[in-house]
């Protein structure tokens, strides 16, 4: 049960306030700001909160503030996303996971409606936002959270809708109420397209931690199947994979019939209209499976600085080029300057975040291995070296897990839809230790 929700901007000011059962004073936001400031100033090595002067330097960032904070009367459940804090103070026992999942859902829906979630977009469309909050929760319990069902009740503030409203208003036509709630909550009735088409995007992200010598400490792939359905009527689809046994864990959009999956490994469903996430899954990759690229970082500290060089070796990707490679190398905090050269791509050193960013736009197999080498100087005699390189890349038309769509069949409707499947592999939390 959620009593209230506050959305707070980066300066700690309230931009949205919504109460579903009784009002909680806005002062709770000050309490929250104080508590999180207190936490951030907490010196490492202690768990105690006294002895903290107000002008002390912060040891932790906003991201480090625990999602559940205590105050005298409330538990402050908070989620930080893109500079906005979504805060639910609760007084009684509650399912914190439900609160977080619900906040995520609000963020998703608002993003879907407004294009992005920011202070500006919320302020500009506050009427829509308040309507959504009202519709998504009743008396502290989630009510309608399906984007499709919501769009039937609340119009997204698109330009066309605005124009339509004005035109209709001028013409004296009142907008129609949606008359029939569809039997399937995720799909509205009476959808019609002149061209019937459905697209699937299989996106896999590799989460991996790799040691400097190439040993894989942990790795897995997280995949999502996102669909864009533009099909008329009430189509019943059946999607099969070539190798579904690879999947270790999966979860589905509510439209998927789980029993069919359990028995036949078939995705059988009546799709929602428009964009939706059909399925997400996890595949544990073997530590011996070659990563799409191997990164070899070397850092040699010397007095007041050191040398580094990093090479990137492309590995098996079925001949697909690796694109948009970005290596972020966080240097130690005491670094004063960096000098480097690379044979491929561009590098940049940001003296504020002390990070070297090296970008390689495209890397083909059997090319000369890109290399970045250079020196850095530090104000510390022995700069700390426990650094981790963060790697980003993407490979189009490639799935690291090997999962592929086999066929898609359509029942209950007479037309033949146009079908499309794309796959892509990206780096998730891909880290290389030095």
Partner 1 sequence: MHCAREEFFTTNKKGENYELKAELNSEYRHTRKDAVKKVIANMTVGKDVSGLFPDVLKNMQTEDLELKKLVYLYLMNYAKSQPELVILAVNTFVKDSDDPNPLIRALSIRTMGCLRVDKIIDYLTEPLRKCLKDENPYVRKTAAICVAKLYELNPELTTEQDFVKELKELVSDINPMVVANAVIALQDIHELSDTKDIFIINQTILNKLLNALNECTEWGQIAILTALGDYKVASNKEAESLCERVLPRLQHANGSVVLAVVKVMMINMQYIQDKNTVRVLCRKMAPPLVTLLSSPPEVQYIALRNINLVLQRRPEVLSNEIRVFFCKYNDPPYVKMEKLEIMIRLCNDRNVDQLLSELKEYANEVDVDFVRKSVNAIGRCAIKIEEAAERCINVLLDLINTGVSYVVQEAIVVIKDIFRKYPHTYEGIIPTLCDNLEALDEPQARASLIWIIGEYAERIENADDLINNFLENFKDESTQRVLQTATNECDNADIRDRAYVYWRLLSTDPQAAKAVVLSEKPAVAGESNGLSSGLLESLLSQIGTLASVYHKPAETFIAGRKYGADNVQALAHDPTNEDEDASAPPPQIQEALRNNSNLDNLLDLDWDEPSASTPINEPSATSSSLGDLMSLDAGNAAPSPPPSSTLSPTQSLTDIMNLYNQPSASPSNTFAGMGNPMQPQPQQPVQPVAVSSSMNDLFDFNMSTTSTAHSGLQQSSPLSPSLISTTQPLSTSANSKPAKEDPFAGLF
Tell me which residues in 143-202 interact with partner 1 (CB under 8 A): 145-146, 153-155, 165-166, 169-170, 174-175, 177-179, 181, 185
Q: Give yes or no for residue 386 binding partner 1 (CB under 8 A).
A: yes
Q: Is 352 left (phi over 0), alpha (psi -120 to 50) or beta?
A: alpha
Q: How near is the Cβ of 320 to partner 1 at its closest, in Å?
A: 24
Q: Give yes or no for residue 45 binding partner 1 (CB under 8 A).
A: yes
Q: How near is the Cβ of 138 to partner 1 at its closest, in Å?
A: 5
Lay out the site mask for partner 1 across 315-354 (x = CB under 8 A, - = otherwise): ------------------x---------------------
Q: Which of 222, 426 has the CB closer to partner 1?
A: 222
Point out which span in 125-133, 345-353, 354-362, 398-406 binds partner 1 (CB under 8 A). Answer: 125-133
Q: Give yes or no for residue 245 binding partner 1 (CB under 8 A).
A: no
Point out which span in 265-273, 360-368, 400-408, 426-434 binds partner 1 (CB under 8 A). Answer: 426-434
Q: Give yes or no for residue 68 binding partner 1 (CB under 8 A).
A: yes
Number of residues that bind partner 1 (CB under 8 A): 93
The correct pick among 7, 28, 90, 338 for binding partner 1 (CB under 8 A) is 90
The correct pick among 48, 159, 286, 366 for binding partner 1 (CB under 8 A) is 48
Q: Is 22 left (phi over 0), alpha (psi -120 to 50) or beta?
A: left
Lay out the site mask for partner 1 across 264-283 (x = CB under 8 A, - = otherwise): -------------x--x-x-
Q: How near is the Cβ of 171 to partner 1 at its closest, in Å?
A: 11
Q: Give yes or no for residue 390 binding partner 1 (CB under 8 A).
A: yes
The correct pick among 82, 83, 197, 249 for binding partner 1 (CB under 8 A) is 249
Structure tokens at 109: 């829906």
Distance (Å, whole) CA 152 – CA 188: 8
**Residue 183, Cβ density class (10 Å: 0-12 exposed, 13-18 middle, ≥19 buried):** exposed
Q: How near is the Cβ of 416 to partner 1 at its closest, in Å?
A: 31
Q: Give yes or no for residue 355 binding partner 1 (CB under 8 A).
A: no
The correct pick among 9, 12, 21, 408 for binding partner 1 (CB under 8 A) is 21
Q: Give yes or no for residue 94 binding partner 1 (CB under 8 A).
A: yes
Q: Which of 267, 344 has the CB closer to partner 1?
A: 267
CA distances from 70 to 3, 38, 95, 160, 176 (A): 16, 12, 15, 46, 47
Q: Which of residues 213-242 bind partner 1 (CB under 8 A)?
A: 217-218, 220, 222
Closest CA to 357 of 324, 396, 317: 324
Distance (Å, whole) CA 411 – CA 214: 49
């Amino acid at each position: 049960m959620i009593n209230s929700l506050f959305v707070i901007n980066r300066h700690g000011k309230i931009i949205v306030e919504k109460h579903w059962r009784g009002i909680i004073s806005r002062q709770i936001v000050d309490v929250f700001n104080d508590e999180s400031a207190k936490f951030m100033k907490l010196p490492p090595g202690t768990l105690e909160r006294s002895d903290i002067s107000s002008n002390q330097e912060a040891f932790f960032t906003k991201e480090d503030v625990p999602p559940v904070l205590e105050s005298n009367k409330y538990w402050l459940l908070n989620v930080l996303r893109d500079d906005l804090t979504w805060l639910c103070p609760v007084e009684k026992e509650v399912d914190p996971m439900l609160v977080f999942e619900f906040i995520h859902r609000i963020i998703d829906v608002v993003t879907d409606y407004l294009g992005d979630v920011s202070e500006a977009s919320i302020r500009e469309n506050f009427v829509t936002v308040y309507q959504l909050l009202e519709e998504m929760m009743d008396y502290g319990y989630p009510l309608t959270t399906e984007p499709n069902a919501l769009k039937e009740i609340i119009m997204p503030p698109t330009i066309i809708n605005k124009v339509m409203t004005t035109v209709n208003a001028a013409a004296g036509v009142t907008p129609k109420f949606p008359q029939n709630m569809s039997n399937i909550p995720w799909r509205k009735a009476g959808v019609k397209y002149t061209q019937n088409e459905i697209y699937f995007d299989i996106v896999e992200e590799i989460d991996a931690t790799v040691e400097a010598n190439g040993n894989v400490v942990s790795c897995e792939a997280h995949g999502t199947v996102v669909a864009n359905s533009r099909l008329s009527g009430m189509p019943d689809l059946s999607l099969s994979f070539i190798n579904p046994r690879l999947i270790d864990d999966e979860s589905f959009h509510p439209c998927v019939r789980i029993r069919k999956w359990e028995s036949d490994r078939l995705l059988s469903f009546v799709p929602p209209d428009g964009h939706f996430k059909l399925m997400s899954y996890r595949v544990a990759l073997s530590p011996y499976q070659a990563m799409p690229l191997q990164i070899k970082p070397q850092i040699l500290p010397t007095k007041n600085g050191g040398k580094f060089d990093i090479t990137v070796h492309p590995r098996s990707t079925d001949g697909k080029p690796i694109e948009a490679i970005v290596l972020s190398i966080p240097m130690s905090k005491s670094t004063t300057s960096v000098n480097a050269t690379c044979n491929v791509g561009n590098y940049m050193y940001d003296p504020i975040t002390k990070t070297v960013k090296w970008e390689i736009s495209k890397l083909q197999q059997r090319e000369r291995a890109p290399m970045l080498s250079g020196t850095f100087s530090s104000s510390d005699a022995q700069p700390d070296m426990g650094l981790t390189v963060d790697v980003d890349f993407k490979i189009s038309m490639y799935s690291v897990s090997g999962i592929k769509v086999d066929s898609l069949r359509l029942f209950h409707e007479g037309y033949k839809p146009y079908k499309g499947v794309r796959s892509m592999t990206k780096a998730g939390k891909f880290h290389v230790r030095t």
